[in-house]
Structures are given as C-alpha cells and as structure tokens.
Structure 1
Amino acid sequence: MMASVHARLAGWRNQAPFLWHLARQELIERHSGSLIGKAWTLIAPLINILVFVLVFSKIMGARLEGFGAEIDQYTYSIYLIVGILAWTAFAKSLSAITNLYGEQANLITKVRVSLKALPLSVLLAESVVYVISMIFFAAFLVLIDFPFSAWWLGVPLVFGLQLAFTYALGLLLAVLAVYLKDIKEAVAVLLPVWFWTTPIVYVSDILPPWVLSYMQLNPLFQFIDAYRDLIMYQRLPALGWLAALVLVTLGLAVAAFWLLKRTERDLRDCL
C-alpha cells in the first residue's frame, strides 16, 4: 500500500512542471491581447483594493467600530476585502475546475495527463493571484497602521484547507459535468446565490439567530470567518468548524476519486 502511495506521489511530482506551465499559461491568456499583458496580474488586484477603500471608506464612510478612531474609518473596507479575496479565489477556481475537462478536451485526448492532477493547475493560477492580492492588502494595512500579529501565520493554513475543499468539490463537479451538461449552468447560477448567503458584504451579527444557525453550515461562511478572526480580530478561529471542514473535504475527495476511478476510461472517450 505504501509503495502505491509513493508511486502516486512520484507521478504527481513528475507532472508538477507541466501543471505549472498550464497555470502560467492561464494567467497569461487572461490578459492576452492587452497592451501591458502579464502586468495586469499585478495591477488588477491593486486597483480592486484601492477601489474598495475609496468607495467604502472615503465616499460612503462605512465603518465597524472598536478598532480605534484612526482605523475605524477603514475597518469595513478591511472586513470586505478579506471576504472578497477569499471568495474570488474560491469562486473562480470552482467555476474553472468544473468546466476544465470540457475546455481541455484536446489536451486530455492527446496527452496522458492525470485527470486528478489537472485541476491543480487552476488552483496554482488562482493561488498566485490571491498571494499577490494579499501582499497589496498587507501593504495597505501597514500604511494605515493596522496592528499585525502572529495570528497571520494561520492564514496560509486556512487557505490551504480552502484550496483542498475547492479541489475536492471541483473535481467531483468536473466529472459529473462531462455527463451532465447542466452542471456547468447550475454552478454559474448557484455561485451568486452562494455569495449572498455568505457574510461577505454584510455583517453576520445582523442576522436573526435561526438564520445564522443555518448559514453557519455554509463552508465559505466558516472559511471567511476564520480569515477575519486571524487578520482583523487577532484570535483563534473556531477550531470545531475547521475540523468539520476537514472532514467534509475528505468526504468530497473520497467521493470524487471514487467516481473518477469508475468513469475515467469512459470519460476520456466522451470528451
């Protein structure tokens, strides 16, 4: 059994350069034809953060109290940016992975690429964008004198779990989407609904207790709550919910791997 695991890990390591090439290609193609090309990968996150701060802190004056007079004017922007960055990484990755096998049908039929490993190229690309965005976000926090703490070290761990969850759910949907074409449309329709049932632009405290108890079952609710705990409130996130997310992720991964193993040969023929 251990030999089998080592063989699989070696196989994935061998495909790492190819997956990185696909991720790099994805980032380049997003802005192909534009005058400054790859530079948009850096510029777009910076502009987004500046717009959020300008609109919500300076124009609308939205704020959350309790962080000090100088920082309170920016707190709603911080609250929003933390949620938006995490959501964008999730939503873009999930949508891209769901459609991946159909869009990469040419590649899959010509190259013996691992169908399990292929979604990692999407996650790599989105991780690059997320890291760049977080660097700009951290620079903004430095400029406004927002306090940093060791709790920031937990952010990569939560993001790693979010990537694993996205991978497992995305892989399951990607396999189903080959046979059920409505999956692609359903994901496109449900993602905006999922967005608004996650406290990204509003504070969960405004919700009635019975609504909140149901919304807490939303995985993205817990991921974004964990980021805000670590970055804004500088405290330990709810470990019980994070442990539950680990179990949900493992369950989705088992289901996705089982389904892919059962259908892989037919799936390649259907593309």
Structure 2
Amino acid sequence: MNWNLIVNFTRQDLIDRHSASMLGAAWTFILPLINILIFTLVFSNIMGMRLGGLGQDLGRWGYSVYLVSGLLAWNCFAATLSRITQVFHDKAHLIGKVRMSLWTLPVYVVLSETVHYLIATGFFMIFLIAIDFHFTWSLLWWIPIFLCQQLLAYALGMTCAILSVFMRDIGQIVGVVVQLWFWLTPIVYVANILPGFIQQLVALNPFYHLVLAYRAALITGEAPHLLSIGVLVVFSVALLAIAIFVGRKLERDIRDFL
C-alpha cells in the first residue's frame, strides 16, 4: 500500500468537499455542529423520550442521546459504503495514469469519512459533558466497534465497486438499499415497539448489532455482545477477501472498462 498516495487522496478529498464555498474547510466543522444541535436540541423537545429503563435517566435529553449515538455511526457507515461503491469511477482518470493498487485505493474514503465522524463525535461528547452525562470506561468499546463498522463498509463497498464497473446501475441500487436499510435499523425508534416476528427479522440486520453495541457501551455502560461483533468481523474479512480475489482475476477487465 502506498501510504503517501492514500494520505494525499484523503487530504485532497477533505479539501475538495467545500473548495468552491466561501468558508472552505470550515464547513467540515460547521455541518457536523449544525447536525448535532438539530439532533440534540430539536429532537429532544419534539420526542421527549425517557430512556431510564436502558440505563441513565437523562430526562428530556434521553432521546437525543439514544438517537445521536446510532445516527452518527450510521451516517459514517452509509457514506463510506456509498462512496467506495463509486470510487473506481471517481478515480478513473487517475487509475490509468498513476501506479496504484485498486484494492487499497478506497482506504482514503474510509479515512476521510472517519475524520468527519470524529469531528461530529467530538461535538457530541461536548454536548454530553454539558448535560452532565456520566461516562464509564465502557465507552472505549466504541473504538473496536467503529473499526468493525468501517471494515464492514469497506468489504461491502469493495464488492459493489467491482460490480459497478460492469453494471453501472449498482450505484443507484446501493443508494436505494441504504435508504431502506436505515429504516430497518432501530436508529430513530426503539426495536421493542415492533411486532415479535419483525424483531426477529431486524435481528438479522448486521448494523442492528453495531447500534446495540454503541448504545450498550455509552448508555448502559456494558460491553458489546462479543459473539455478534466477532461474527461481523469474520463475515467482513471473508467478504473482503473474496472481493479482492475476484477483483484481481478481473483487474485487466476492470481497468479496460474504466
């Protein structure tokens, strides 16, 4: 892996996002801050959900903490997956000119989206401190949970990126699937409001277990269900290995199609 190239791609990606705007890179901080303010202040007043049964009784802030802890992770996951799906098309003008590995190229997307996630999470932590939230050491579980999440996004994105070279509709299909996937994940609602058979279907959703792990570490101060996380890691590694194996077999065709 050419780390200098990956780092340059990551830096340029962060710059290019808002390069045409007057505030430029400041939007990298402004947009996450606005989102946190909306999710915490507006939704706390509209929903007013109390989550005392899940851990700390946060009163009017309960729903905000519940929502944001899952939503920040989802936004990062969805953006990483969607952007990696299109990465070969986005960098097609460079792939034929610059010597690079197609299979490590999407790492810059993972790093770029991670930077945005860390900024948003930083604002969220400031909010939690402001409402006198009681932190526990279990919050450190967020690090391996996040790594598992991005590994899953990388594996799925790489698979879709290879397919999208030969089937251009894959990008649009992924967009639709991501929208449906969001509503099949208990991010804005509590899973126990669903009928029993629907809850069983939701339990098959891999991101459902990631959301549970995030909230367990933050709200109830518990370790995640390690078996579920372990299964996700094994699945992600296996899928990524298969995608890279198939991609290498088709690499010449991929470069020709681009």
| Structure 2 length-normalised TM | 0.96
Which residue matches 2:98?
A: 111
Where structure 2 has 5 or more consecutive residues not aligned to the other structure, the ranges are none
Which residue matches 2:120?
A: 133
Correspondence 1:26 to 2:13? yes
Correspondence 1:247 to 2:234? yes
- Superposed, which structure 2 residues align to 1:10-49 within 5 Å? 12=1, 15-49=2-36
Correspondence 1:224 to 2:211? yes
Distance 2:151 2:56 in 1: 36
Which residue matches 1:260?
A: 247
Q: Among 58, 61, 65, which residue is 1:74 paired with?
A: 61
Distance 1:51 1:57 in 2: 9
Distance 2:149 2:98 in 1: 29
SS in 2 for 1:139: helix
Q: Among 191, 194, 217, which residue is 2:181 paired with?
A: 194
Distance 1:228 1:23 in 2: 29
Any conservation in 2 of the 1:56–1:62 contact (CA below 8 Å)?
Answer: no
Which residue matches 1:270?
A: 257
Number of residues of Structure 1 aligned to a counterpart in Structure 2: 257
Q: Among 159, 168, 172, which residue is 1:172 paired with?
A: 159
**What are the Cα deviations for residues 91-135 of structure 1, in whole angstroms up to 9, with x where unaligned?**
111110001101110010110111011100000000001111111
- Superposed, which structure 2 residues align to 1:123-162 within 5 Å? 123-162=110-149
1:236 Cα deviation (Å)? 1.4
Distance 1:154 1:68 in 2: 18
Give, as a single letter, the amino acid of the residue that structure 2 aligns with 1:219: P
Distance 2:193 2:253 in 1: 49
Give the direction of change, closer, same or farther, for the CA distance of 1:175–1:266 in structure 2 (3 Å limit): same
Any conservation in 2 of the 1:152–1:230 contact (CA below 8 Å)?
Answer: yes
Distance 1:222 1:200 in 2: 11
Distance 1:35 1:201 in 2: 34
1:186 Cα deviation (Å)? 0.5
Where structure 1 has 5 or more consecutive residues not aligned to the other structure, the ranges are 1-11
Q: Among 83, 88, 96, which residue is 1:101 paired with?
A: 88
Distance 1:61 1:155 in 2: 26
Give, as a single letter, the amino acid of the residue that structure 1 aligns with 2:120: S
| Structure 1 length-normalised TM | 0.91
**What are the Cα deviations for residues 149-175 of structure 1, in whole angstroms up to 9, with x where unaligned?**
110111011101111111111111101
Give, as a single letter, the amino acid of the residue that structure 2 aligns with 1:57: S
Any conservation in 1 of the 2:56–2:219 contact (CA below 8 Å)?
Answer: no
Which residue matches 1:8?
A: none
Aligned-residue Cα RMSD (Å) equals: 1.3
Give the direction of change, closer, same or farther, for the CA distance of 1:82–1:68 in structure 2 (3 Å limit): closer
% of aligned pairs identical? 44
Any conservation in 2 of the 1:64–1:73 contact (CA below 8 Å)?
Answer: no
Give the direction of change, closer, same or farther, for the CA distance of 1:235–1:44 in structure 2 (3 Å limit): same
1:44 Cα deviation (Å)? 1.0
1:60 Cα deviation (Å)? 4.2
Any conservation in 2 of the 1:108–1:268 contact (CA below 8 Å)?
Answer: yes
